[in-house]
Structure 1
């Protein structure tokens, strides 16, 4: 990393490095630092934040304890916190560069009293080894995650740059399995607490099975259609800790484009409010 830095006018104590970009999130005055290369936030992050916040639409000022597992630079947490002004967010991230960027985003947006950054391994949390006071078992109302979608493919592994290793960790279960993620979320949630994640439709049988294995009951899902008539690839899912079986609801699909190159009305509304998302294709995984 080139450590020659400029400093951001909004908060002169926060450095902006040559390999950083600065995005205006168009919500609550929040801005986002992220790396030019590697994993960058996009459509999945916007949809996950909006979907998670929708469960609290009738009580937007309720105080919520939120954990973001695999927080990255903090895009989902910032978008969620802008919608839920009393949310207290703890972000857990294994990658040191991403965690440092998240810490800068906390300072940049003056969220020191609402946000905590913890560098650590979700697998340790799943195994009950993570002893950080900010991640106490059974103390969270909401856990959110945009986890790796793809199962680990060892035959594809080869010498890679740090940038590509970061991308692989974000997209493929090289360092974290679905089971470990859900076990970690289950440990953090209070009884009745909610897990919200974005994943792939083809993994639904695995997801529902693992949720029940760790005391979580799937309650809603919303498929994401890229175009009318095209089979959904991605899905938003919510589950409750110690939830009763039954009462599952599959919502109408969220349509991204009404025709090629044209946003649907719902997506246009999201992007009208969060129009800084730089490239809608960057995080749509097929």
Structure 2
């Protein structure tokens, strides 16, 4: 799987300040966990990946980084994951192309579609793994935001922060990045646009990722 905008934005925005133990669900190449380790020197990250080849690639990427002593890649599904402790923060770029045609390649299909891990199971299972003051940050399609917030309500998780992600200024939002917690509070909202009107990366996007991408 290639590194995409969704993972980069999640890794750059997830508010893990003060967290010590972080869980990433569905790591792919490991980029989100690597970004979080770079942003927050004090955290330790457990990262899950169901696909064996992707988990192997993530392991190689972690071992080749300065953060290998703080990131543990586990080749398992979220459903099968057992932990002897709870986490301060959970992050996930989950499979969410529910209605799309399944890819002929199993790994890509598994990563891109939610027939393996529903948003309900992610939120409900994630809540059980969170410490009492813990938070969960998920990136999700804008056109399925009603489903997202209905599910959060059903499992008694409350939105604290939301970023609308736009590809271009004149288009509808493509994604939402939402941080959920146990306590009901007023949600903070903001937005990020990837490209400007001329098709170049926006100043806000470059500023967000300048510490991670050499092109910026």
TM-score (norm 1): 0.69
Max Rg structure = 1
Q: What CA distance in whole angstroms lies between the structure 1 residues aligned with 2:112 and 2:24?
A: 17
What are the residue-to-residue correspondences of 1:1-286 with 2, within 5 Å?
A: 39-53=1-15, 56=17, 62=18, 64-124=20-80, 130-131=81-82, 135-136=83-84, 139-152=86-99, 156-157=101-102, 160=104, 164-240=105-181, 242-244=182-184, 246-251=185-190, 253-276=191-214
Answer whether contact 1:168 1:174 (CA < 8 A) is retained: no
Answer whether contact 1:227 1:256 (CA < 8 A) is retained: yes
- Residue 218 of structure 1 deviates from its aligned partner by 1.2
Q: What are structure 1's unaligned runs of at least 5 residues?
A: 1-38, 57-61, 125-129, 278-286
- Residue 180 of structure 1 deviates from its aligned partner by 1.4
Is the alpha carbon distance of 1:228 and 1:152 closer, same or farther for their aligned partners in structure 2, counting shifts above 3 Å? closer
Listed one character per residue, the Cα deviations across residues 161-213 of structure 1 (whole Å, up to 9, x for unaligned) are xxx22112222113111111112211211112110111111111111121122
SS at match of 1:227: coil
Name the count of aligned residue pairs.
215
SS at match of 2:210: helix
TM-score (norm 2): 0.90
Answer whether contact 1:122 1:180 (CA < 8 A) is retained: no
SS at match of 2:14: helix
- Residue 276 of structure 1 deviates from its aligned partner by 4.5
Is the alpha carbon distance of 1:83 and 1:191 closer, same or farther for their aligned partners in structure 2, counting shifts above 3 Å? same
Q: What CA distance in whole angstroms lies between the structure 2 residues aligned with 1:247 and 1:145?
A: 22
- Residue 224 of structure 1 deviates from its aligned partner by 0.9
Answer whether contact 2:162 2:189 (CA < 8 A) is retained: yes
Q: What CA distance in whole angstroms lies between the structure 2 residues aligned with 1:157 and 1:222?
A: 28
Q: What CA distance in whole angstroms lies between the structure 1 residues aligned with 2:210 and 2:68?
A: 28
